[in-house]
Structure 1
Amino acid sequence: SVEPALAAGGPDTYRLLSPPGAAVAVAVTGSSGVAAAAGLYRYLRDFCGCHLSWSGAQLRLPDPLPRLRTEIRVTAPGRYRYYQNACTQSYSYVWWDWARWEREIDWMALSGINLAPAFAGQEAAWQRVYRSLGLNQSEIDAYFTGPAFLAWNRMGNLRGWAGPLPPAWHLKQLYLQSFYGQPFIWCMLHNFGGNHGLFGTVEAINRGPFAARRFPNSTMVGTGLVPEGIEQNDMVYELMNELGWRQEPLDLPSWVTRYAERRYGAPNAAAAAAWRLLLRSVYNCTGVCVNHNRSPLVRRPSLRMDTELWYNTSDVYEAWRLLLSAGAELGASPTFRYDLVDVTRQAAQQLVSDYYVSIRRAFQSHALPELLTAGGVLVYDLLPELDNLLSSHSLFLLGRWLESARAVATSDQEAEQYELNARNQVTLWGPNGNILDYANKQLGGLVLDYYGVRWSLFVSALVESLNSGSPFHQDQFNQAVFQVERGFVYNKKRYPAAPAGDTLDISRKLFLKYYP
């Protein structure tokens, strides 16, 4: 229930209690609808062992529902829990229908988020304004970008690209619908471009909001999430959302152990140990986070790529081993399978960097046999195996991204335009690779037919250079590989939108081949 008086004019508050008698296990009351939803998730999370995230839900309720020994009352330390970045609209939400938005809004409410922008449909309003100012439709069409690039059109730094916006787009969107003395919201900007890649700054987010709130004369009014893209690194977002209701930092190792149990629906020592390893390494960048989401795997190959990382890669390999060992017990959990794909993918990403270093070293040493060996393993085995792994899970499929774009269309012509938008955004990002690979994704189909083809061309160019005795020219390679990249954008190949293969089997096969 909602009782505004519960907050007494202050920040959101929720109350959990078990009324006398057996009829009701728990009564959840909030000062607002969002506060009540946050209280409900607190009960589900901490007392029922449930878990809800972008990658899946584990909602097996105990029977009977647990009763509370004492009343729990929690008041948020700030007025707001903010969510979204202007770019999230294009990198993640662009092809969403109401069913997907409804799930997201439920997640937002249960996470306690009470402040979020609503950009949908504004182009229809602007179109009416522009017409009232005397612009004709062709002038307006030349201004609006295609759907996948509207975030930057709205920010004023892009116009026309991948447009125009069909009339049906406007209609569908309408249906959806610290500075001195200035109040501010402490926000976590965690993701750029909707990239895949394990990453976090857990110590910073566990302490930063509390330090900012304690600062003399602090004007902080809340916490927030501002990722450019979502549906990645669920743990970091669950942590940040919980901190929006806390008065002090958490004990992170204990928290992540309980998180693993909730996420998979059962305790497992190996899975918990894996998460503690990830927490202290890849999820705990404390300095300059070099090459965050910029692995050589997803970059246009060159001889000058940096492979330095902010964490000990052996921790990810060991977490991979531990998760695989938990597969017999947890393999039926959808969120476990998602995490196994994600951690295996991260390990494979690290391996790609190692093979790249071997390729570069062999080329610079004029060691053709070593170049052929390292390049052959990378192009003909590791990348295809990684593509098979990603293709085993619905959330790592290029076909799902492309089909969701086509599904928004009301005609074949629109479907082709929207697919072009979707392909271009995750690859060239613009007509000429203007911010090439900024929105890179590691998806089944994309790894093999885009990144894999680029790497094959790169290795072939290096081999040809050694065989002919002529120098390797990066500018010439860039011109050649651009044709491959552009060809992928305009290719009409259809990709499956349903997964194929068993994640556990494929991950185990990769492990037996490549575990260092």
Structure 2
Amino acid sequence: MKKTIILFSLLMVVLSVHADDISAVKGLVHRLFPGYEQVFSFRKTAGKTDVFSLRSEGGKIIVSGNNANSMAFGINHYMKYYCHVEVGWLKSDTFQLPSVPPRIPKPVTIKARVKDRFFLNYCTYGYTMPWWRWDEWEHFIDWMALNGINLPLAITGQESIWYKVWSELGLSDATIRNYFTGPAHLPWHRMINIDRWFAPLPMSWLNGQLMLQKRITARERELNMRPVLPAFSGHVPAELASIFPKAKITKLAPWDGYAEQYSCSFLDPMDPLFTQIQRRFIEIEDSVYGTDHVYGIDLFNEVTPPSYAPEYLSRVAKQVYASLANADPQAIWLQMTWLFYYRQKDWTNDRIKAYLTAYPKNRSLLLDYYCDMQEMWKSTDKFFGVPFVWCYLGNFGGNTMLTGDLETINRRMEHAMAKCKGNLAGIGATLEGFDCNPYIYEYVFEKAWNFPTNRNVQEWVNALADQRTGKVDANARQAWQLLVDSIYNQQTVTQQLQPFFNMRPAFMTSKMVSQIPQVDKEDKILLEVIEKLLQVDSDRQSYHFDLANLTRQLLTNHFMSVFYDYQKAYEAKDLQTMRLLAKKMTTIIEDLDKVVGTQSCFLTGKWIKDARAWGKDPMEKLYYEQNARNIITTWSDKNMGLNDYAYRSWAGMVKTFYGERWRMFFKAVEAALKARQHFDKAHYDSYKDRVCTFEKYWWEGCVGNFKAVPTGDSKTVVREILAKYQ
């Protein structure tokens, strides 16, 4: 009798787990596809390998899978390849469902090729997500589930935990909140790069983020994700030394041009206080957010370690892992390998090996962070057997520029899967910010599953064209094939791609001039693609985004070509031609602002509105707005190396920030010529000082009042613009 009760209890537990998975995926369908709840019927299957199956049965679409995440990916497969529906990563990305759900002519079963599918980057929390509320997070988490992501970086709300830890150790409220940075800059505080920039951090932010992270982690786990939580990396408030005078706390060198007052302090992992802080942080974090035992710790991101001696690096890594295991015996230490790429001359293989193999391999997980540029697994003997995730980065600063080499991505991922079967744990994407190339990341995550189109780029592109327009259309397919054969077939060769228009104005270098033929060639392709898309009859939001996005690129390219003629006119001292070309470029700026204004994701006004919404009073609203403006312009203070790093070709900024800088440049150059002088270094330095003053005034003085909702029909606007230039 007792044995029967035990078996019955176990059966109830299993059924409960199955019911939870099915309930979770039903909830996703209800949120994303209302009206389709009765279309799908779900079946939970056994087994640990992620797999989904689709089939039609009667009037139902039967979705089977081993968990909610697999079933969600199956739903997305049905939506994309049978309904021609693409669900975007932003809540503003709308779509239309077919009135009659398509049947599946032949059953489909697809397995995952890798266990882990990682997503996000510390920087994404500054360049894209700092102002998100739950509604945007809820949609995004559903998008991650649809794309099979099961290992998301989850670092929201950690400052609320740190506040508790530092308070317990005796630091005051003012000291702690002045140690933090402003919200948009917190990723670089978390990576031990900067302290105090835009401090103090309001208490309302800490409280709001704590509640938000609770909802984020709960929903991610509901959809079978393992949130990667933060842990202690040695970063401490400088004032901690006054409470623990014997602690080995070192002031790190200033990061990337910041003044010394913003430098971070680092507690030596060998110090007993390190283990004490690690344990307390994880205890509190676990009590508030729970844990899946995966923790992100990056000790030396873009900073120099106290020593590069292999013995030291081995000892430090071993001690950091020991502190983590002391707090959570099941802990897995996840870290990005960006530091090995960033300082390749210093991180030699003997040092990397000593650092990575100092603790158990099965307690480690690495992110090969920038495989679109350099696959570190190839130069480190496959990370010496330590499990790693192949990652596509593809974007710096959330920049708005077309980029993404699908053929290279395909080839490199297939090669890694063939050569690293022993320790390739997964596939990931580590974009710094959401950009204007969302489909590239969807392609990366489809590669993590074993179905035919994941090896054939051309077939995948045809399906993408159908999804973007909502139908099979010859013009759309031809347009996308042309795009992928040209623009989306260029390997990234720089860390940061930036249109000339978004740079602080100056005359072109010889290297920039050499790019003009390539830009002109790209313009011809873009014009042909846009004209083909204009022949498509579609009301899909994704279709209208593509028209605006491609025209945005066309206009910024055209601006560069016109400026090249302006520079030649300057060299010829042809003031009349210069004025005509300056006027033409001013018109391009106005047209660019108008076309990006048709899309919600290209609105400066929305970014600012979302930031201000976190403020509980006028002063806090101003604080958040200034922080939001700062990071997408000068990034820090005026005239530092990070200026324009996170540029945005967004409506509002185009006219009032970039446009004003160009108007100032044209005026300064003309003034020099009128005075019969060259626009030499002295003239440029004087002009640059004025521009720097303006840039700071733009973000600090909150120049401009921008629309937070899109205006105009992109198709109409694009046609008007093309008619003007042809």
Query: TM-score range, shorter-chain basis?
Result: over 0.9
What does 1:185-200 align with in structure 2 at a 5 Å threshold? Answer: 185-200=389-404
Partner deviation per Cα, 1:333-382 (whole Å, 9 max, x = no partner): 21111111100000001011112211222222322222222122112x11
1:495 and 2:706 are equivalent in the alignment: yes
1:61 and 2:61 are equivalent in the alignment: no
1:32 and 2:67 are equivalent in the alignment: yes
- Per the alignment, residue 440 of structure 1 pairs with 647
Partner deviation per Cα, 1:240-270 (whole Å, 9 max, x = no partner): 1211113675322232122111121122222
Partner deviation per Cα, 1:133-178 (whole Å, 9 max, x = no partner): 2211222122100101100010111111122111110111011113
Give the deviation of 1:321 after TM superposition: 4.2
Give the deviation of 1:459 after TM superposition: 1.2
Return the match for 2:121 from 85, 95, 113.
Answer: 85
Partner deviation per Cα, 1:479-503 (whole Å, 9 max, x = no partner): 1111111121123432111222332
Q: Indicate if the aligned counterparts of 1:144 and 1:150 stay in contact, CA closer than 8 A.
A: yes
One-letter identity of the residue aligned with 2:47:
A
One-letter identity of the residue aligned with 1:369:
Q
SS in 2 for 1:246: coil
Q: Indicate if the aligned counterparts of 1:331 and 1:504 stay in contact, CA closer than 8 A.
A: no
Between 1:412-421 and 1:230-239, the stretch displaced more is: 230-239
Q: Indicate if the aligned counterparts of 1:78 and 1:221 stay in contact, CA closer than 8 A.
A: yes
- Per the alignment, residue 361 of structure 1 pairs with 568
1:235 and 2:439 are equivalent in the alignment: yes
Between 1:218-227 and 1:308-317, the stretch displaced more is: 308-317
- Structure 1 length-normalised TM: 0.93
SS in 1 for 2:389: strand
Mark the runs of 5 or more structure 2 residues left unpaired by the alignment.
1-17, 23-42, 214-376, 378-382
How many angstroms apart in 2 are the aligned matches of 1:253 and 1:310? 27
Q: Indicate if the aligned counterparts of 1:25 and 1:65 stay in contact, CA closer than 8 A.
A: no
Mark the runs of 5 or more structure 1 residues left unpaired by the alignment.
none
Between 1:411-420 and 1:39-48, the stretch displaced more is: 39-48
Give the deviation of 1:324 after TM superposition: 4.1
How many angstroms apart in 2 are the aligned matches of 1:222 and 1:290? 25
SS in 2 for 1:52: coil
- Per the alignment, residue 274 of structure 1 pairs with 479
What does 1:274-353 align with in structure 2 at a 5 Å threshold? Answer: 274-286=479-491, 289-290=493-494, 293-305=497-509, 306=512, 308=515, 313-327=520-534, 329-353=536-560
Between 1:148-157 and 1:44-53, the stretch displaced more is: 44-53
1:147 and 2:353 are equivalent in the alignment: no
SS in 2 for 1:294: coil
Q: Which runs of 4+ in 1 moved over 6 A?
A: none
How many angstroms apart in 1 are the aligned matches of 2:540 and 2:45? 38
How many angstroms apart in 1 are the aligned matches of 2:449 and 2:122? 25
One-letter identity of the residue aligned with 1:370:
T
| Overall identity of the aligned pairs, in % | 31
Q: Indicate if the aligned counterparts of 1:77 and 1:247 stay in contact, CA closer than 8 A.
A: no
One-letter identity of the residue aligned with 1:58:
F
Q: Indicate if the aligned counterparts of 2:56 and 2:62 stay in contact, CA closer than 8 A.
A: yes
Give the deviation of 1:218 after TM superposition: 4.3
SS in 2 for 1:18: strand
How many angstroms apart in 2 are the aligned matches of 1:341 and 1:29? 38
- Per the alignment, residue 16 of structure 1 pairs with 54
- Per the alignment, residue 505 of structure 1 pairs with 716
SS in 2 for 1:439: coil
Give the deviation of 1:65 after TM superposition: 3.7
Between 1:419-428 and 1:224-233, the stretch displaced more is: 224-233
Give RMSD over aligned pairs: 2.2
Return the match for 1:428 from 626, 634, 637.
Answer: 634
Cα 1:370–1:64 change in 2 (3 A) is closer
One-letter identity of the residue aligned with 1:383:
I
Return the match for 2:696 from 469, 473, 486.
Answer: 486
- Per the alignment, residue 196 of structure 2 pairs with 160
Cα 1:47–1:17 change in 2 (3 A) is same
Return the match for 1:385 from 587, 591, 602.
Answer: 591
- Per the alignment, residue 119 of structure 1 pairs with 155
SS in 1 for 2:488: coil
Structure of larger gyration radius: 2
Q: Indicate if the aligned counterparts of 1:147 and 1:421 stay in contact, CA closer than 8 A.
A: yes
How many angstroms apart in 2 are the aligned matches of 1:32 and 1:226? 25
Partner deviation per Cα, 1:3-58 (whole Å, 9 max, x = no partner): 9995634x311122334xx2x52211222211111011112211222211136243
Give the deviation of 1:315 after TM superposition: 4.6
